[in-house]
Amino acid sequence: MTPVDLIVVGAGPFGLIAAHTWLELNPNDDVLLLESAADLGGVWSKSRMHPIIKTQAPLGMFEFPCYPMEKLPKDKTFHNYFPGSHVTAYLEDFATHKAFSRKTLKDRIVFNSHVKHIIKTDKLWTISITLDTSFTCEKLIIATGLTSTPNLPSFPKDDFSPPVIHTRSLAANIPLLNSPSINDVVVIGGSKSAFDAVQILHSLNKTVKWIIRTSGQGPAFLAAPNAPWPLHSSHDIISMRLVAKMSPCIYEPVDNWSRICHGNKVGIRIVDAIWWFVDWTWRRVANFDRDENMKGLKPGRPLCLSADGLAVSNSEGLWDNVANATVLRDEVESAEGKDLILKSGKRVTCDAVIAATGWSNTYPMFDNALATELELPLPFQTPQEDGKAVAEWETLLAEADKKVVETFPRLANLPTYPHPEPKSTPNKLFRSIIPISGDIDHSIAFVGAIGSAQSLNVAEIQALWAAAYLSKKLTLPTVEKMKQEVALATAWRKRRYLEDGYNVIFEHVQYMSLLLRDLGLNDQRKGGGWRELLEPYVSADFKGILDEWRRLHDLL
Ligand SMILES: Cc1cc2nc3c(=O)[nH]c(=O)nc-3n(C[C@H](O)[C@H](O)[C@H](O)COP(=O)(O)OP(=O)(O)OC[C@H]3O[C@@H](n4cnc5c(N)ncnc54)[C@H](O)[C@@H]3O)c2cc1C
Ligand SMILES: NC(=O)c1ccc[n+]([C@@H]2O[C@H](COP(=O)([O-])OP(=O)(O)OC[C@H]3O[C@@H](n4cnc5c(N)ncnc54)[C@H](OP(=O)(O)O)[C@@H]3O)[C@@H](O)[C@H]2O)c1
């Protein structure tokens, strides 16, 4: 096939807005999106949607700033958190609302096209779907999401007959789970998908045993949905710059606020007390001490150290619902017949297993050599880079760690908590978007490689950042400086969140600000004064960033 100008792999929110942004800037370009599934929207696609799924960001904070979402009446929301099906409809509308060269985004999606292999020859990327179907392009954006590839538990199964269903395919399996032959269901995992699975199973009148291992992060920390007046929801709290300042964060230069909050003993004590208070209020809502069973759902970590395990109790009656499951703080070691055999020796008989066991965040479409060159995460068992590169990285990391501790003394001695071995090596993309030295002709970018609590805002800002980079209109620091920044982000994450997760929850305001500053745009978008500190950031605050950037580059 003739090479196209741009291919975007993945038609979830990040892929859709990335393609849209590119087309806004280059309306005559030939742009394709390759999508594994038969529908668009990724996590929010019709085929993955089930009635329990609600957003974890409220109305007004979970929409592309350039495309406002239709508001819903109060009785259709829960403290402003709203049904996932509304996001499904929104993304469908977004993909068809505008045509570029008479083609909408949806017209450009090649569905049922799972990308298996990507290589680069000369100046072109070749993207293979099957042995005889491939596409070539000059520019490539990877938007395959952090929650696309299931991580399945790998215990030995001897003639184990019940189906093991990952939460990715929960919606598709509801008819099977609803069948009368399935009564006892086991849910494995402690994070938000497990909470959702338990609620769905109860709505189908199933008996649920819920197994959460003790060697990892434990049960998710679920924030209460509401917040004190004048705020509307708990999300408002973490979307204020003042609260963001209370997290030790390397995404912005040290200013007076960071010195006050993190640079002296009094500030550290006050900030700790605030975190403790919010932690206490949110735990109180769950009433974990109501019985022995519920005690097993106490969050594994304090609020301020929960990132990948932080979620919102975003549906009515959630705690009373999950209290009906039998919680076992144990681990599956093997399975035979209809029994799961646990580490404690206990046997649990079941008709089905729901694996709410998370995701793999590697990029299997790149072979190891290319993935290493592009500085992508690799599964831990993969042979590592050459010794020289490893030594260079270790030195950078050690220097970065020193800087993190000097800047934020509180991170020097955090308490320890159990955490699982990371499944992959760290993602070394600069700003979590581009390879530092493996892409000299600016032809590839990765969007959606960082998780956040305002992912549609992050998606639009990343899309512009990626388009600016691919158009060679982004001024980048030197390679040396970029390496230092990536090492700093990695060292910070290791200390701040005690492992290598990928979410920025308390720091999403700073991460978005950082990208805007890189683009030369105003990142203080609340009009200054108290508003900048206390008014929660919403999607509308980022409206118009594309035109602002165009103006800066005389493209309007
Ligand atoms: C159940 C659930 C609920 C969530 N709720 C929230 C929330 O409330 N708020 C929030 O901010 N975030 C939430 N998240 C995080 C979620 O990742 C983001 O909301 C958002 O969907 C990320 O968009 P994305 O485009 O990066 O990834 P996705 O939505 O996962 O889309 C990626 C797309 O890439 C496709 N793809 C993957 N691999 C390939 C391949 N090899 N070839 C072709 N196509 C491929 C997938 O089929 C998918 O369509 C949730 C995640 C889950 C799993
Ligand atoms: N909008 C919503 O309401 C909603 C719903 C669902 C998910 N989400 C979001 O989607 C993202 C992904 O959430 P997720 O819950 O799907 O995945 P996740 O956060 O990655 O959690 C995976 C869970 O599986 C456990 N696990 C992994 N491997 C295991 C094994 N081998 N045996 C036993 N347990 C194992 C982990 O425990 P360890 O700590 O022990 O490893 C963890 O509890 C999060 O950001 C979440 O907030 C949002």
**Residue-range domain boundaries for the chain:** 4-149+360-553, 164-355
Q: Which of 212-216, 276-280, 377-381, 503-507 has the lowest mean pLDDT?
A: 377-381
User: What is the structure's pLDDT at 90?
Assistant: 98
Whether omega before 230 lies within 30 degrees of 0, making that bond cis, reads: yes
Using pLDDT thresholds of 50, 70 and 90, give the confidence band for residue 436.
Answer: very high
> Does 325 contact ligand 1 (Cβ within 6 A)?
no
The token pair that represents 494 in the structure block: 């290791």
What is the Cα 101 distance to its own chain's centre? 33
Interval 218-227: pLDDT, tens: 999 999 999 8
User: What is the structure's pLDDT at 413?
Assistant: 86
pLDDT at 501 over 80: no
> Does 192 contact ligand 2 (Cβ within 6 A)?
yes
User: In terms of C-beta density within 10 A (0-12 exposed, 13-18 middle, 19 or more buried), how is residue 416 classed?
Assistant: exposed
For ligand 1, atom 12: residue with the closest CA: 455
> Does 36 contact ligand 1 (Cβ within 6 A)?
yes
HEC string of 111-122 equals CCCCCCEEEEEC
pLDDT at 410 over 90: no
Distance CA 545, CA 550 (A): 9
Interval 65-91: pLDDT, tens: 999 999 999 999 999 999 999 999 999
Q: What are phi and psi of 221, to 5 degrees?
A: -90, 115
Q: Do the strands 184-188 and 352-355 form a parallel or antiparallel pair, or are they unpaired?
A: parallel
Using pLDDT thresholds of 50, 70 and 90, give the confidence band for residue 388.
Answer: confident
Is residue 353 within 8 Å of residue 186, measured between CB atoms?
yes
Helix locations, 408-444, DSSP H: none
Total-model pTM: 0.97
User: What is the structure's pLDDT at 500?
Assistant: 67
pLDDT at 382 over 80: no
Is residue 346 within 8 Å of residue 186, measured between CB atoms?
no
User: What is the structure's pLDDT at 470?
Assistant: 98
Percentage of the chain beyond pLDDT 70 is 99
User: What is the structure's pLDDT at 57?
Assistant: 94
Contacts of 85 (CB under 8 A, 6+ apart): 49, 53
Residue with tokens 């950082």: 514
Residue 218 φ/ψ region, left for φ over 0, alpha for ψ in the -120 to 50 degree band, beta for the rest? left
Q: What is the mean pLDDT of residues 481-504?
A: 90
Contacts of 473 (CB under 8 A, 6+ apart): 553
> Does 153 contact ligand 2 (Cβ within 6 A)?
yes
Span 4-149+360-553: which CATH code?
A: 3.50.50.60
Give the atom of ligand 1 at the shortest distance from the alpha carbon of 81. 8
Helix, coil or strand: residue 353:
strand
Interval 348-375: pLDDT, tens: 999 999 999 999 999 999 999 999 999 9
pLDDT at 415 over 80: yes
User: What is the structure's pLDDT at 497?
Assistant: 86
pLDDT at 385 over 80: no
Question: In the chain, what's the furthest Cα-to-Cα distance?
Answer: 69
Interval 145-197: pLDDT, tens: 999 999 999 998 889 999 999 999 999 999 999 999 999 999 999 999 999 99
User: What is the structure's pLDDT at 26?
Assistant: 98
End-to-end CA distance of the chain: 33
pLDDT at 29 over 90: yes
Q: Could you give the angle at which helices 13-25 and 545-552 cross, rounded to 10 degrees? A: 40
> Does 84 contact ligand 1 (Cβ within 6 A)?
no
Distance CA 364, CA 423 (A): 14
As separate numbers, helices (DSSP H) first and strands (DSSP E) second, the chain gives 17, 22
User: What is the structure's pLDDT at 383?
Assistant: 65
> Does 191 contact ligand 2 (Cβ within 6 A)?
yes
Q: What are phi and psi of 311, to 5 degrees?
A: -145, -170
| Count of Cβ atoms closer than 10 Å to residue 206 Cβ | 21
Distance CA 310, CA 299 (A): 9
Name the residue type at position 202: H
Please name which of 544, 532, 463, 546 lies closest in space to residue 239, comparing C-alpha atoms.
Answer: 532
Q: What are phi and psi of 547, to 5 degrees?
A: -65, -35
User: What is the structure's pLDDT at 308?
Assistant: 79
Please name which of 45, 40, 21 lies closest in space to residue 31, comparing C-alpha atoms.
Answer: 21
| Mean pLDDT rounded to a whole number for the chain | 94
For ligand 2, atom 18: residue with the closest CA: 358
